[in-house]
A and B are shown apart, each in its own frame.
Chain A
Amino acid sequence: MVNYGGDEVSALVLDIGSSSTRAGYAGDDTPKAIIPTSYGAITSPDGDVQMSDSDGNPTAEKRKVYIGHSGPSLWRANMEIHNPIADGLIQDFNPIPALIRHAFEDTMRCSPSEHPVLVTEPAWNTPANREKMAEIMFEEFQVPAFYIANTGVLNTFAAGKGSALVIDVGQTMASVIPVVDGFVLRKGLAYSGLPQLVYAQARHILTNPTQARPAIDLTPHQLIFNKQPVELNALPIYTLREDRAAATTPSWRSWAENKEVEEWVQSVAGVLDQGWNDQSAAMRPPKQYEFPTGYSTWFGAERLTVGEQFFWHSPQLMNSPGAPRIIPSLISDSLRACEPELRQVLMGNVVLTGGGSLFTGFADRLANEMMRTFPHTKIHAPGNPIERRYGGWLGGSILASLGTFHQLWISKEEWQEHGSAIVGQRCK
């Protein structure tokens, strides 16, 4: 199976993000399996319910877990939605084996026990977390070899650089990661839950009335029995699925509504490239959007206030202690922690990545913000959305496909001999 000289190691690459889990073969340019990281679970009041096949957790005997594309997005009575990731890190390892099994075995139809597996990790991952991941891979999945690689470094390398300032905007976290000669400069690491605030703000905009429109009803399509076509701006006419109302859990409802907000943000929201200005905001063309209820309207300047949250907060919000740091603050905090000589190198090599950065106007605005303080800024932002969204996975895919990389894998024998300590030694 393993071939030294050539590039045939048939390794698997796994990248678990807060919104989606990406899995695929090393050497491919896109992941084969892209499944939601959130999962549904139904806890039965009695113990008679049979355990789900995909549920690897013996303590949750009364719990049935639904993972994948037919997981959280299908309505089920009393199904709660959970997500194992918090602040970019895996907080709950219980559903992780089931998630990995679903990605590799159910979606890709391959057995991880026959392939080396490269897993990615965020720059601020803890040693305990990576060792736990190694343990799951070796003990649960019996992988022949394992490696864990930092997404910050993978993104730097994928941009053809040894040193770079990686700006990674994901679904829940925004981070600025200085990478120098292939290593993350830990002291310069800066991250915050900014995207969560942006989505909360978008939801706030939608669910509150304006002069031009009423508050928007975010009822997801799963709860709508039927609807009638209505004129633009007219109130929606639809009937709810009353049969589902009682058994819909608050966590499922909020998950589904957030999906609607995300979709709206992705198709309509944007950011002005030169900073907020009422006039230029009014000059931007409005965009139309139709919600699952059938209501549709045009969104003008308000769609641009959403992206503004990435770059500017009111002084009131900036000074409140719990508020997530905005992108310019993350960048300046990160640079302040780095030596002055390094700053120039980093600013000359900025790498923009993450699905959240695909926001309309984001790269231009970022460039303008950075030029103000550092005129020599050069931003590398892959135009190909796949490269941007799955940059970490893609970097891992290339690395794991190299014949020469073989010597860096942690083999099962090494794991058995040295235990978890080898993970920290080998994967730097």
Chain B
Amino acid sequence: MASGVGVNSACLEEFTNLKLRKKTDNGEILKYIVYNLNKDNTEIVVEKTSASGDYEEFLGDLPEGECRWAVYDFEFQKEGGIRNKLCFFMWSPDKAKIKQKMLFASSKDALRRALVGIAVEVQGTDIDEVAYESVLEKASKGN
């Protein structure tokens, strides 16, 4: 069951840039992308792209009372080496309106299927579930 909401082509383009570490026009490498629905709730669009490595800044881009999706290039240490994993976030805080929750949950699949190469998926309803430590725990599992 799905909402039938479409995915704007820019969503995939930015994701590919992030995945392939392609330099942006400013010479930066993307760290994360935040996705939102457009005003008419018909299409998933890119809300923000950022090269900031500050995880707290990323969390600041997840609004307290509204849903979002995001992809974060998560970097961590394991067995002495640096690893990278692409994390997909479904951000749906308890405070969000039920209509928005329904919309985002039923549209997620369309976006998620378009993004190939995601290693970790995080479903977050409060800030604890998306905190650095929680994501680190998920990311460091497996290889």
Contacts and interface: CB of A to CB of B under 8 A. Distances in A.
Q: Are the chains A and B members of one assembly?
A: yes
Given A159-B101, A161-B123, A404-B42, A380 B2 contact: no
A234 B17 CA distance: 80
B99 interface: yes
B115 interface: no
Interface string A270-281: 000000000000
A408 B105 contact: no
B17 to A, nearest CB: 25
Given A153-B1, A404-B3, A404-B6, A399 B102 contact: yes
A272 to B, nearest CB: 26
B123 A402 contact: no
A157 B123 contact: no
A404 B5 contact: yes
A209 interface: no
Interface string A134-154: 000000000000000110010
A394 interface: yes
A130 to B, nearest CB: 13
B103 interface: yes
Interface string A1-35: 00001110000000000000000000001000000
Interface string A148-171: 011001001111111100000000
B105 A160 contact: yes
B4 A158 contact: no
Nearest to B100: A160
Nearest to A159: B101
Contacts of A394: 98
Contact of A160 (B5, B92, B129): B92
B16 interface: no
B125 A160 contact: yes
A398 B42 contact: no
Contacts of B41: 7, 402-404
B102 A158 contact: yes
Interface string B9-53: 000000000000000000000000000000011100000000000
Contact of A182 (B2, B92, B125): B2
Interface string A396-428: 001100111111100000000000000000011
B105 A402 contact: no
A162 B42 contact: no
Contacts of A403: 40-42
A44 B112 CA distance: 60
Contacts of A387: 98
B4 A407 contact: yes
Q: How large is the interface on B (under 10, 10 to 19, 20 to 34, 35 or more residues)?
A: 20 to 34
A112 interface: no
A345 interface: yes
Interface string B86-103: 000010111010111111
A73 interface: no
Nearest to A428: B1
B85 interface: no
B72 to A, nearest CB: 18
A305 interface: no
B123 A427 contact: no
A161 B40 contact: no
Contacts of A156: 105
A398 B41 CA distance: 12
A395 interface: yes
B77 to A, nearest CB: 23
Contacts of B140: none
- Most chain A CB atoms below 10 A, which of B4, B5, B104: B4
A343 to B, nearest CB: 14
A181 interface: yes
B67 interface: yes
Given A160-B125, A349-B125, A399-B1, 8 more contacts: A6-B40, A150-B1, A160-B93, A160-B105, A395-B102, A402-B41, A404-B5, A408-B2
23 contacts: A5-B42, A6-B40, A150-B1, A157-B1, A157-B106, A158-B105, A160-B94, A162-B123, A181-B112, A182-B1, A182-B105, A182-B106, A182-B109, A380-B125, A387-B98, A398-B103, A402-B3, A402-B5, A402-B103, A403-B41, A404-B4, A408-B4, A427-B1
Minimum-distance CB pairs A-B, first 4: A160-B92, A160-B101, A404-B4, A157-B105
